[in-house]
Amino acid sequence: MKVVADTIAPKTGQANMPDYDTARADFSWEEVEKSFSWHETGKVNMAHEAIDRHAETWRRNKVALYYSDDERDEKYTFQDMKFLSNKFGNVLRSIGTEKGDRVFLFLSRSPELYTSLLGTLKIGAITGPLFEAFMEQAVRDRLENSEASVLITSPSLIDRVPYNELPHLENIILVGDGDAPEDGDVKFFRYEQEMEKNSRDLNIEWVDREDGMILHYTSGSTGKPKGVLHVHNAMIQQYQTAKWIMDLKEDDIYWCTADPGWVTGTSYGIFGPWLNGVSNLVRGGRFSPEDWYGTIEKYQVSVWLSAPTAFRKLMGAGDEAVKKFDLSSLRHVLSVGEPLNAEVIHWGMDVYNRRIHDHWWMTETGGVIIANYPAMPMKPGSMGKPFPGVEAAILDEEGNELPPGQMGKLCIKSGWPSMLRTVWNNEERFKKYFPFEGWFDSDDLASRDEDGYFWFEGRDDDVITTSGERVGPFEVESKLVEHPSVAEAAVIGKPDPVRGHIIKAFVALKDGYTRSDELEQELSSFVKKGLAAHAAPREMEIRDFLPKTRSGKIMRRVLKAWELDEPAGDLSTMEK
């Protein structure tokens, strides 16, 4: 069951991608490969394609990275990035790092994070970025699982690294000033000193397309994070999706707000824009509506990629905040990471006069799979259509394709270029992604409509069976968010002797609203009237905040565990 959606037409203008059907009919990944210099030789290196290739052309003096936080405001050209990453590659080689070694990053967003990630790739080592807010257990788990031999971190974070208890960890490189231990069972180096000592010329390691490139741990929304390995070949998809979905053009200033600790922050915060030779803005520090709008105004951001949690917060901050800033540079706005409520899209049309383009993918897919494209009519609340060259389908429990309108498993025909190649040290888990011959199972539930648009319904684990009906939590949550008092909502199924499950909603209110029995009643009947009686929450709890991952995803499993008084499981990625 879907609420009938209205459609928002694209703005007229030149999008990189032709209309959807034409793009799909003509598409071949082999053609995309020809955009790269390695097409002929077979040997490749992501960092070369993202940085050095441009530094060898007129783009050498083009700004690759604008970096700003409360203390720094800097810019780096493609040539600067080339030399700095070369130096870092030499630093790693000088301490004995080799191709295939895991080099992890535990740093706040800073230019050094970007140059050292690229330098790691240049010597053929595998990079593993960790989110700076991780506490000791989260850091330990990932360094243990990956058997990383090098860690790049800072004196302010070193307290959270149990380096004497990690037998594989040999070297720690500290970025920035500050007191830090200088000995232990590992060798310590200072980033600035080592960079000073090393040459800006480097013999890059040419690797095979299938060689390991990046190890990303998933967000932990549904359980213990999985170490997903991607290879250099992922660049084919990251390049082409960034070109068509982010619609990147030569003169763009592109801002992706995701941290590189999450896959969006690398695939589309590093690789996508730089493979396309585009200027990339990184803003450190914490979220505030004023700061974000001010950043767009100051840097004249033209393409902006963020997440539903941020858009919902901006919406909660009110339209007045928008009016204080000049956002006219914005040409294209995107959202990813969680379902984007139709309500937020309508609000975006009102205040930004832009569509917010939702798109769907996951750590495991390495690149976008389903999207709303700039030139395609948009149905608010839908994830859009599969990328040309990718096949997605809705399958039942036996792997048979379901007809339009029915909810089932969202699966992808295996073999897309940026598909995960393994789960690190867990081949069994990797195999579980492929329950049906030739298909990858996302563990998300979705449906497809008659026009070929995909609609997200919920995580496989989160779908609620109540009085014999299957209800996707997203539909109910989206309805709740339409109510003027609601900032965010999460819905779970609670076991019930009569109905199987009942729906319980957790709601965070917008500023200016307070909890009352009447409001709870009103919200429940709002869903009943707008959706269906069986979808109306029978229990409601208004909370100050909802538990979320560091990447901003609502953790329904945690709400469920709290509700049922069960152990909450792995909380390493939970925002505190």
Q: Which residues bind ligand ATP (CB under 6 A)?
A: 218-223, 225, 262, 336-339, 358-360, 362-363, 383, 442, 444, 456, 459, 551, 553
Return the number of the residue (59 or 216) whose C-beta is nearest Mg ion. 216
Name the β-bridge partners of 75.
66
- Taking CB atoms, the residue at the shortest distance from Mg ion is 218
Instruction: Please report the DSSP string for 8-60 in residue order.
Output: BPPPSS--SS--HHHHHHH--HHHHHTTSGGGTTSEE-HHIIIIIHHHTSGGG
Shortest separation between residue 570's beta carbon and ligand ATP, angstroms: 9
- 162's tokens: 């149990």
272 binds, among ligand ATP, Mg ion, none (CB under 5 to 8 A by kind): none
Q: With CB cut-offs between 5 and 8 Å by kind, which of Mg ion, ligand ATP, none does residue 237 bind?
A: none
Give backbone dihedrals phi and psi of 255, rounded to 5 degrees, phi first: -130, 115
Among residues 81 and 376, whose Cβ is nearest to ligand ATP? 376
Closest CA to 125 of 165, 152, 107: 152
How far apart are CB 411 and Mg ion at their closest, in Å? 14
Taking the least distance from each CB to ligand ATP, the nearer of 327 and 410 is 410
Closest contact distance (angstroms) between CB of 222 and ligand ATP is 3
- What is the C-alpha separation between 298 and 19, in angstroms, rounded? 33
As measured in angstroms, the least distance from the Cβ of 531 to ligand ATP is 18
Closest among 260, 346, 127 to 550, alpha carbons compared: 260
Contacts of 521 (CB under 8 A, 6+ apart): none
Q: What span, in angstroms and rounded, lies between the C-alpha atoms of 272 and 270?
A: 6
Residue with tokens 């008092």: 485
Cβ closest to ligand ATP, residue 146 vs residue 279: 146
- Closer by beta carbon to ligand ATP, 85 or else 219: 219
Choosing among ligand ATP, Mg ion, none, which partner's interface includes residue 90 (Cβ < 5 to 8 Å by kind)?
Answer: none
Choosing among Mg ion, ligand ATP, none, which partner's interface includes residue 124 (Cβ < 5 to 8 Å by kind)? Answer: none
x/- track of binding to Mg ion for residues 217-256 (CB under 5 A): -x--------------------------------------
Closer by beta carbon to ligand ATP, 150 or else 234: 234
Contact assessment for residue 303 and residue 246, using Cβ atoms and an 8 Å cutoff: yes
23 neighbors 390 (Cβ within 8 angstroms): no
**Helices 473-482, 517-530: crossing angle, 10 deg rounding:** 120
Interface with Mg ion: number of residues (CB under 5 A)? 1
Nearer to ligand ATP, 362 or 507 (CB): 362
Using the contact rule CB under 5 A, the part of the chain among 84-92, 215-223, 505-513, 532-540 near Mg ion is 215-223
Output the smallest distance, CB 38 to ligand ATP, in A. 28
- CA 260, 265, 270 angle in degrees (round to 5)? 95
User: 388 with 27: CB under 8 angstroms?
Assistant: yes
> Of 224, 263, 264, nearest to 557 (Cα)?
224
Taking the complex as a whole, the smallest distance from the CB of residue 92 to ligand ATP amounts, in Å, to 28
Q: In whole angstroms, how close is the CB of 413 to ligand ATP at the nearest point?
A: 17
Q: In this structure, are residues 293 and 324 in contact, taking their beta carbons and an 8 Å threshold?
A: yes
Which tokens go with 69? 């936080």
Minimum CB separation from ligand ATP for residue 478, in Å? 11
Binding residues for Mg ion, per CB under 5 A? 218
